[in-house]
Chains A and B, each alone.
Chain A
């Protein structure tokens, strides 16, 4: 069962795509995602991966190529970041509506301007409504496992939706970690070949992407929405099967030291590891702090999330993106909405931290937790507060 090897997370992700036996990769390099597709192109060029590697002139072409490829029934992968993801925007909606299960890793990076190659979640939050299943990895091992999970879920005949695995740019993509790459035969057993029910085939022609007149468009969107919500079951089942086969257990929502917690920090992505250190430190000081991490972002794991915060007095939601003029960050507004109908719900305090690669330290998490304790008795004046911005 797999060897534990120290490797860069981007390289490990590329190796996972190889283990998944991807057949087509179309991608355009962009920092901090570049190493993933660079390594994949090497694997293809060296004959280690029997796939078609399509070099394209932009991310718009990359994702368009992926749609065509997956429509013919080929297992398809791409990866991007920031401006590249933004350039894909219009095609991303088409991928989900046409039920084309592309798997993409997004190395999360800030959006311009100012120009920034560094990490936050503003790129993916701008793509919140594209109708793709979205997960967030905390560390390299999880990134590898979520990529395998993504192919399994996306291509399931009861799902057939594209899927994004988010990894934090640099803080995860460029980190060297000990990672277990599973054996090929175990991956093959977990991930059967892609056999879509319908595909583009000259022997049996079909049309994909026809016009939806006003009399049918709405019904088509409702059908899509229902199918998307139903993907939940397959997502959970695939994680369960993954745990049986590989021994690593994944859930839509993870909790850490949340029993008896008075303040819960909520975060997505790799910063959760820093937050855990802060929780441990504060627990030693007798402060009842816990951590909640969302692994599954779309479809939103409402049931699991409500369970994780039940009985909690204050929830501090840490957003990694700004939504100018809104009533909170994207995660903050989502969570407030999810909790609105709960009779006993925590007070939600929303922080925005770590934009454009600004470090979020253990001390920053302590500060957020301390403010959350303060807000236990006093309602916050602002809908959200920025952490780590110089005032003078």
Chain B
């Protein structure tokens, strides 16, 4: 449950805080405390998939053209993708509110 999804009255808390919908952790917004966000330069990217393989939150997914794109709902901004990119195609930029 994401933080913004958890704001409910105690009266609405499910019995024992059970989860009745299996696999709903996919709805857990892990990307809500990111301070840096990865940005992809498609000119430099060779679609090697290192970011996809090494992302600890499995945020990357290939788009129709085969570029790996980050899903900011889950991305915590750890910067591993940028660090491992062999072409320097990923830059971490400040997340501005």
Which residues of A pack against B, CB within 8 Å?
97-99, 160, 197-198, 205-208, 210, 212-213, 215-216, 218-220, 222-223, 226
Given the interface contacts A197-B15, A213-B1, does A219 sit within 8 Å of B22 by beta carbon?
no
Sample of 19 A–B contacts (CB below 8 Å): A97-B16, A98-B16, A98-B18, A160-B15, A160-B16, A198-B15, A206-B19, A206-B22, A207-B18, A207-B22, A208-B16, A210-B1, A210-B17, A212-B17, A213-B3, A215-B6, A218-B10, A223-B10, A226-B10
B8 touches A216 (CB 8 A): yes
**Majority-rule SS of B interface residues:** loop
| Chain B 1-43 near chain A by CB (<8 Å), digits 1 or 0 | 1010011111101011111101000000000000000000000
Q: Which residue of B lies closest to A96 (CB)?
A: B16
Known: A213-B3, A216-B6, A220-B17. 4 other contacts (CB 8 A): A206-B20, A210-B17, A215-B6, A216-B17
A220 touches B10 (CB 8 A): yes
A332 to B69 alpha-carbon distance, docked (Å): 65
Which residues of B pack against A, CB within 8 Å?
1, 3, 6-11, 13, 15-20, 22
B18 touches A219 (CB 8 A): no
A13 to B53 alpha-carbon distance, docked (Å): 59
Partner among B1, B10, B18 whose Cβ is within 8 Å of the Cβ of A198: B18
Give, as a whole number of angstroms, the nearest-CB distance from B30 to chain A: 11
A213 touches B6 (CB 8 A): yes
Given the interface contacts A215-B7, A216-B1, does A223 sit within 8 Å of B22 by beta carbon?
no
Give, as a whole number of angstroms, the nearest-CB distance from A234 to chain B: 16
Give, as a whole number of angstroms, the nearest-CB distance from B63 to chain A: 32
B8 contacts which chain A residues (CB < 8 A)? 216, 219
A97 contacts which chain B residues (CB < 8 A)? 16-17
